[in-house]
């Protein structure tokens, strides 16, 4: 029986870019452990705090009790645990709308098309860019997002260099969307918007500005 280390299961709003749209009511399953130590990390408790080891079927039962159509699997880094794939399949079978937030360090597996992926690409200010590999984004489609957290102009310029490389490494059928999010408390939000609007390439590919509205509203 597959088991997964779980930090917490709770209802909230989807505060960042996602397929069901920002602000959507969602059940979060926060899994424990992470292989990144980003300089701006806001969820250290997901690898330093406590956890409970749960069977996949019991996680699904807890999610069903919370009665939200949308479910987001987050962390930490969900793909570190073998049982995560079984969890995704069981949630889909139970007719949930499933999204996964991953940090970009692990190859995203070929999974049912109905799973929605939000994959980070860690930029210089994170301190973790050395862990990024373009091949990890091969299985993303136009329902999925690659997200850049921007702390400064160096991050922004690097993201512009990275996008064509991710598209080149991606499968040829469909291409993911790209979202830019200001590092909370570190980067002026309006400045990032101005940079994006001034860049013709980002306008052409339909890049998205994403604000962490759950932090603005101080919602868990």
> In angstroms, rounded to a whole number, what is the distance separating the alpha carbons of residues 26 and 165?
32
Position 8 scores a pLDDT of 96
Whether 69 shows a pLDDT value over 80: the answer reads: yes
Position 119 scores a pLDDT of 97
Position 186 scores a pLDDT of 65
Whether 35 shows a pLDDT value over 80: the answer reads: yes
Position 187 scores a pLDDT of 62
pLDDT in tens, 171-203: 877 899 999 999 977 667 899 999 999 999 999
Sign of the torsion formed by the C-alpha atoms of 162, 28, 38 and 35: negative
For the segment 202-218, the average pLDDT, to the nearest whole number, is 86
> In angstroms, rounded to a whole number, what is the distance separating the alpha carbons of residues 184 and 42?
9
Query: What sections of 5-55 are H helices per DSSP?
Result: 45-48
Q: Domains of the chain (ranges plus CATH)?
A: 3-216 (3.20.20.70)
> In angstroms, rounded to a whole number, what is the distance separating the alpha carbons of residues 68 and 77?
22
For the segment 90-100, the average pLDDT, to the nearest whole number, is 97
> In angstroms, rounded to a whole number, what is the distance separating the alpha carbons of residues 10 and 4?
16
For the segment 70-74, the average pLDDT, to the nearest whole number, is 97
Position 182 scores a pLDDT of 93
Position 43 scores a pLDDT of 82
Percentage of the chain with pLDDT > 90? 78
Position 213 scores a pLDDT of 81
pLDDT in tens, 123-140: 999 999 999 999 999 999
For the segment 57-72, the average pLDDT, to the nearest whole number, is 98
CB atoms within 10 A of CB 52: 13
């Amino acid at each position: 029986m597959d088991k997964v280390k779980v930090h917490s299961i709770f209802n909230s709003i989807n505060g960042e870019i996602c397929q069901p749209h920002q602000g959507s009511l969602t059940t979060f399953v926060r899994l424990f452990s992470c292989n990144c130590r980003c300089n701006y990390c806001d969820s250290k408790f997901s690898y330093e705090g406590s956890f409970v080891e749960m069977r996949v079927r019991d996680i699904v039962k807890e999610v069903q009790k919370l009665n939200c159509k949308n479910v987001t699997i987050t962390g930490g880094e969900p793909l570190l645990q073998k049982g995560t794939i079984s969890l995704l399949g069981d949630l889909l079978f139970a007719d949930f709308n499933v999204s996964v937030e991953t940090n970009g360090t692990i190859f995203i597996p070929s999974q049912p098309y109905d799973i929605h992926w939000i994959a980070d690409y860690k930029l210089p200010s994170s301190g973790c860019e050395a862990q990024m590999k373009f091949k990890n984004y091969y299985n993303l489609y136009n329902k999925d997002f690659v997200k850049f957290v921007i702390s400064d102009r160096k991050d922004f310029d690097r993201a512009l260099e990275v996008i064509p490389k991710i598209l080149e490494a991606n499968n040829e059928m469909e291409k993911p969307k790209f979202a830019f999010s200001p590092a909370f408390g570190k980067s002026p939000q309006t400045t990032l918007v101005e940079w994006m609007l001034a860049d013709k390439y980002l306008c052409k590919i339909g890049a998205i500005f994403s604000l962490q509205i759950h932090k603005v509203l101080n919602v868990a």
